[in-house]
Structure 1
Amino acid sequence: MGVAKSEDGTSIYYERHGSGPAVLFIHGSGGHHAAWWQQVAALRDRYTVVTVDLRGFGNSDSSMPEFDGQDFPGDVLAVLDQEDLTDVLLVGQSIGSVAALRAGLSRPDRVSGVALGHSMGGIDHPELSELVAADRAEAVKLPVIDRLLSKGFQTGEPARTFLFQQMGTFNVAKMADLRNLSTGGPSIEEVVASPVVVTFLAGENDAVLRVSTVRRAHELVEGSRLEIVPNAPHSMYWEMPEQYNAAIVRIREDLTQRKAQA
């Protein structure tokens, strides 16, 4: 475990486990570093696994009067610099994907790939924005827990469902604080021009972002990769960790092969 300092002096908590090629996980709006317990345990014998708390979440500084999602990429970069990591795969979950993409595009010297988990990563494109807005309009009709976890999981795994809901109680920042998260996001042209390999990672049954929207983003972002996990919900990392972890391994190994062939 450690603490990195962002450019504005904010203390950012992170943990580093294992050794090997690096994978850094960035949580969503209801998570923090401990949300990745099923990933750390499964992947640390193979990779350097880093988890981070964005400002306002978990153990990071939460003393500021308001939270700006525009600062999140800098929080990630502070950890990369502190640990002097290169050839990193950044894995974002939902809002964490926005921070992951911006951080990766700004520092390709440290980041080889970005996995956009259940998110467009804040890409600024009119067609994608329209599709995402339509998906969100449908999602808000559901109770929050039903947007994130399947009904079957909630019924069959009440303890893990309860723990999932408790995760957010450790955070000060809330989704309502982060409405400008995607403001000024990168264009498709900027993403395509970057040497960073972008992968769209999504669940087939995501109630927040339809798989058709993710497929369209993949079509528009030339050179991107696509990982669709059958039957998986929005919070696939929690509900279906084996399938999720296998997808992360495929993405990480692809980056390693590309580097070897370069």
Structure 2
Amino acid sequence: MSLACSDGTSIYYERHGSGPAILFVHGSGGHHAAWWQQVAALRDEFTVVTVDLRGFGNSDSSMPEFDGQDFPGDIVAVLDREDLTDVMLVGQSIGSVAALRAGLLRPERVGSVVLGHSLGGISHPELKELAAADRAEAVKLPVIDRLLTKEFQRERADLTFLFQQMGTFNVAKMADLRNLDAGGPSLEDIREAGVTVAFLAGEKDAVLSVETVTRAHELLSGSHLEIVTGAPHSMYWEVPDQYNAVIAHLRRNLTAPKEAA
């Protein structure tokens, strides 16, 4: 058990394995243990760090309310506590927003950020319009159908149940994370920071379409795009082998411009 201090708040995290560092940032229904299939698969080659944002998992949840603007600082606290450099931050869904902001706060520690099923809160009028249209379609579906395919739910009722139980360990909820989008970084902010960005999308993502993610990639020069065939929004859970292979590939190959200079 390891704790970092983020402006007086205790942030729980775990560090596994050795090698180039990957830090995973969970989404609204997750916490550090949601990455069990990633830790086991990646720790032999990489240093794998998992973290609980405040209000989630084992981190301090005693505050009366949560401000999503504090979450990037929670990630930074772990980076500083472990003195990590050249880290690849990997966000899941809205956790990607916190990951990107943390990368921009500590570009000397973060070489790349993988935005999993997310635009990372990038402030751009066209992208906001596209994402809003995707969300308008997503809310027509039951929450579980937005995150996992119906086929997986039928065939793996056990893992579907466990997936749903993950969120019961959290005090903070989706509404607490949404505030992260306020005052998001511009495309120029990202370029100036010198942090490489990769967009990771699932072909069957019911929350954020491949077309929207592809457009973000086109607008952010120098970014990378990975699309996984048949994968849903919670790709890391439903198709871990494919997800882990992409993450390992990105960690081996992404290099920030500031390092290549």
TM over 0.5: yes
1:260/1:253 CA distance change after superposition, 3 Å:
farther
Please name the residue that 2:109 is paired with. 110
Please name the residue that 1:47 is paired with. 46
Q: Could you say what secondary structure the match of 1:72 adopts?
A: helix
Please name the residue that 1:22 is paired with. 21
Q: Could you say what secondary structure the match of 2:180 adopts?
A: coil
> C-alpha separation between the residues in 2 aligned to 1:259 and 1:172?
38
**Aligned residue identity for 1:40:** V
Report 1:18-167 matches (<5 A): 18-167=17-166
After superposition, the C-alpha distances for 1:188-213 in whole angstroms (9 at most, x for unaligned) are 11112221100000101100000000
1:75/1:116 CA distance change after superposition, 3 Å:
same
The alpha carbon displacement at 1:258 in A equals 7.6
Do 2:194 and 2:258's aligned partners in 1 also have CA atoms closer than 8 Å? no
Q: Could you say what secondary structure the match of 2:55 adopts?
A: coil
Report 1:150-229 matches (<5 A): 150-229=149-228
Do 2:138 and 2:146's aligned partners in 1 also have CA atoms closer than 8 Å? yes
> C-alpha separation between the residues in 1 aligned to 2:123 and 2:256?
30
Aligned-residue sequence identity (percent) comes to: 77
Q: Could you say what secondary structure the match of 2:103 adopts?
A: helix
> C-alpha separation between the residues in 1 aligned to 2:72 and 2:226?
23
**Aligned residue identity for 1:4:** A
Do 2:200 and 2:225's aligned partners in 1 also have CA atoms closer than 8 Å? yes
> C-alpha separation between the residues in 2 aligned to 1:259 and 1:241?
31
After superposition, the C-alpha distances for 1:33-89 in whole angstroms (9 at most, x for unaligned) are 000000000000000000000000000000000011100000000000000000000
Please name the residue that 1:243 is paired with. 242
Q: Could you say what secondary structure the match of 1:206 adopts?
A: coil
TM (normalized to structure 1)? 0.97
> C-alpha separation between the residues in 2 aligned to 1:77 and 1:238?
25
Structure 1 residues not aligned, in runs of 5+? none
**Divergent runs of 4+, >4 A:** 256-262
Aligned-residue CA RMSD in angstroms? 1.3
> C-alpha separation between the residues in 2 aligned to 1:102 and 1:218?
17
Structure 2 residues not aligned, in runs of 5+? none
**Aligned residue identity for 1:205:** K
> C-alpha separation between the residues in 2 aligned to 1:89 and 1:261?
16
